[in-house]
């Protein structure tokens, strides 16, 4: 199936025709929220998620992870893209948050209907094991990221959109900067 895929150049988002790696592929043995049918990312079952260690922050929304015992179809080192968020509009605060919160730590990953991006990165929700915080949603809630508006489906789009609207109304992060430019 051909979809419009995101491509960012000079801070502008372009949509180009393409096929996603892993589209339609079954992520065997990995926790998929789309198959469980939960309504909120906070209803996800941490005990079923894949554990890994984030050892580097690569770019807005991308992390380098290490998996000591990767499941079939994954490598020991993988690039992981935060599913459902775009941080390009406000990269410095998003970078600081990710560096402070997840780099150098063990985290848990949950997957959705599409396992990999066009570039081959894993697409995942990142959770903190101590308290179940969904890092993807926190970025949106705190105004460090927008909800991805491209054709990659994800289970929690409605929840993310609600939190983005609230961040706008509260003038958090990115939305505070835009307000001050007006």
> In this structure, is residue 22 part of a structural domain?
no
> In this structure, is residue 167 part of a structural domain?
yes
> In this structure, is residue 23 part of a structural domain?
no
Range of the domain at 144: 29-181
Please give the Cα distance from 116 to 105 (Å, whole number).
22
**For the segment 37-52, what is each residue's pLDDT rounded down to a tens digit?**
898 999 999 999 999 9
> In this structure, is residue 129 part of a structural domain?
yes
> In this structure, is residue 6 part of a structural domain?
no
Say what the pLDDT of residue 9 is. Answer: 44
> In this structure, is residue 89 part of a structural domain?
yes
Assigned token pair, 120: 């081959």
Using the CB atoms, write b or e for 137-162: b if 16+ within 10 Å: bbbbbbbbbbbbeeebebbbeebbee
**Which ranges constitute the DSSP H helices of 40-148?**
91-101, 135-141
The tally of domains found in the chain comes to 1
**For the segment 161-175, what is each residue's pLDDT rounded down to a tens digit?**
999 999 999 999 888
Domain CATH for 41 = 2.40.50.90
Q: What is the mean pLDDT of the chain?
A: 83
Give mean pLDDT, residues 109-118: 91
Report the chain's terminal Cα–Cα distance, integer Å. Answer: 41
């Amino acid at each position: 199936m051909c979809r419009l895929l995101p491509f960012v150049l000079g801070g502008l988002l372009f949509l180009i025709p393409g096929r996603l790696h892993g589209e339609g592929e079954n992520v065997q043995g990995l926790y998929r929220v789309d198959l469980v049918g939960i309504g909120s990312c906070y209803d996800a079952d941490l005990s079923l998620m894949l554990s890994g260690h984030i050892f580097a922050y690569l770019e807005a929304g991308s992390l380098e992870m290490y998996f000591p015992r990767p499941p079939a179809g994954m490598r020991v080192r993988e690039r992981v893209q935060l599913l459902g968020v775009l941080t390009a509009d406000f990269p410095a605060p998003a970078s600081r948050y990710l560096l402070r919160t997840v780099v150098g730590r063990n985290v848990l990953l949950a997957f959705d209907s599409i396992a990999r991006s066009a570039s081959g990165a894993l697409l995942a929700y990142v959770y903190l094991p101590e308290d179940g915080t969904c890092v993807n949603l926190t970025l949106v809630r705190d105004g460090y990221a927008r909800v991805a508006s491209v054709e990659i489906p994800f289970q929690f789009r409605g929840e993310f959109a609600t939190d983005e609207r609230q961040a706008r109304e509260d003038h958090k992060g990115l939305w505070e900067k835009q307000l001050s430019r007006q």
